[in-house]
Chains A and B, each alone.
Chain A
Amino acid sequence: MPVTTLTIDGTPVAVETGSTILEAAQEAGVRIPTLCHLDGVSDVGACRLCLVEITGTRKLLPACVTEVAEEMEVHTNTEKLQEYRRMVVEMLFSEGNHVCAVCVSNGHCELQNMAVELGMDHSRFSYRFPQRDVDISHPQFGIDHNRCIFCTRCVRVCDELEGAHVWDVAHRCAGLKIVAGLDQPWGDVDACTSCGKCVDACPTGAIFRKGSTVAEMTRDRGKLEFLQQAREKGEWTR
Chain B
Amino acid sequence: MDKVRFATIWLGGCSGCHMSFLDMDEWLFELADKIDLVYSPFADVKEYPDHVDVCLVEGSVANEDNLALLRQARKKTKTLISFGDCAVTANVPGMRNPIRNSADAVLKACYVDMGDTNAQMPEALGVLPRLRDRVQPVHELVSVDYFMPGCPPSADRIRNFIDPLLRGEEPPTEGREAIKFG
**Direct contact between A and B judged by beta carbons closer than 8 A:** yes
**Alpha-carbon distance A121/B182, docked complex (angstroms):** 12
In the complex, the answer to whether B98 meets A127 with C-beta atoms within 8 Å is no
- Listed residue (A106, A121, A130, A215) with the most chain B CB atoms within 10 angstroms of its CB: A121
B158 within 8 A of A: no
- Asked if A97 contacts B95 (CB within 8 A), the reply is yes
A161 in contact (CB, < 8 A): no
Q: Is the CB of B90 within 8 A of A127?
A: yes
Interface flags for B70-95 (1: CB within 8 Å of A; 0: not) read: 00000000000010010011111011
Against B, the Cβ 8 Å flags (1 = close, 0 = not) of A124-147 are 001101111000000000000000
Tell me, yes or no, whether A122 is within 8 Å of chain B by CB.
yes
A115 to B173, CA, bound (A): 12
Task: Flag whether A180 is at the interface (Cβ < 8 A).
Answer: no
Stretch from B50-58, B61-69, B132-140 that touches the partner: B132-140
- Cross-chain contact B89 with A116 (CB below 8 angstroms): no
In the bound complex, CA of A125 to CA of B174 (Å): 20
How far is B180's CA from A106's CA once the two chains are assembled, in angstroms? 10
In residues 98-115 of chain A, which contact B (Cβ within 8 Å)?
98-103, 106-107, 112, 115
- Chain A residues with CB below 8 A from B181, complex form: 98, 100-101, 112, 115
B175-A116 in contact (CB<8A): yes
| CB of B64 to closest CB in A, whole Å | 19
**Residue B40, interface by CB 8 Å:** no
With beta carbons under 8 angstroms apart, the residue of A115, A119, A131 that contacts B98 is A131
Q: How far is the CA of A93 from the CA of B94 in the complex (A)?
A: 13
Asked whether any CB of chain A lies closer than 8 Å to the CB of B46, the reply is no
Given known A101-B85, A102-B92, A127-B89, contact A122–B151 (CB-CB < 8 A):
no
Looking at chain A, what size class is its interface with the partner chain? 20 to 34
Complex contact A130–B179 (CB within 8 A): no
Whether A106 contacts B173 in the complex (CB less than 8 A), given A122-B82, A131-B98, A131-B99, comes out as no
B173 and A100 contact, CB distance less than 8 A = no
Q: Is A120 on the interface with B (CB-CB < 8 A)?
A: yes
A123-B89, A127-B90, A127-B137 known; A103 and B182 CB under 8 Å? yes
In the complex, which residues of chain A have a beta carbon less than 8 angstroms from the beta carbon of B82? Answer: 122
Nearest A residue to B87 via CB reads A122
A129 in contact with B97 given A99-B91, A121-B149, A122-B88 (CB within 8 Å): yes
Given A126-B140, A127-B89, A129-B134, A97 contacting B98 (CB threshold 8 A): yes
Known A-B contacts A100-B85, A127-B89; A116 and B176 likewise in contact (beta carbons under 8 Å): yes
Give the B-binding residues of A (Cβ under 8 A). 93, 97-103, 106-107, 112, 115-116, 119-123, 126-127, 129-132, 215
Identify the 9 closest CB pairs spanning chains A and B, nearest first: A100-B182, A101-B151, A129-B97, A121-B147, A131-B98, A100-B181, A106-B182, A122-B147, A121-B179
Name 11 A/B residue pairs within 8 A (Cβ), A-sorted.
Answer: A97-B98, A98-B89, A99-B91, A100-B151, A101-B182, A116-B175, A116-B180, A121-B178, A121-B179, A127-B137, A215-B182
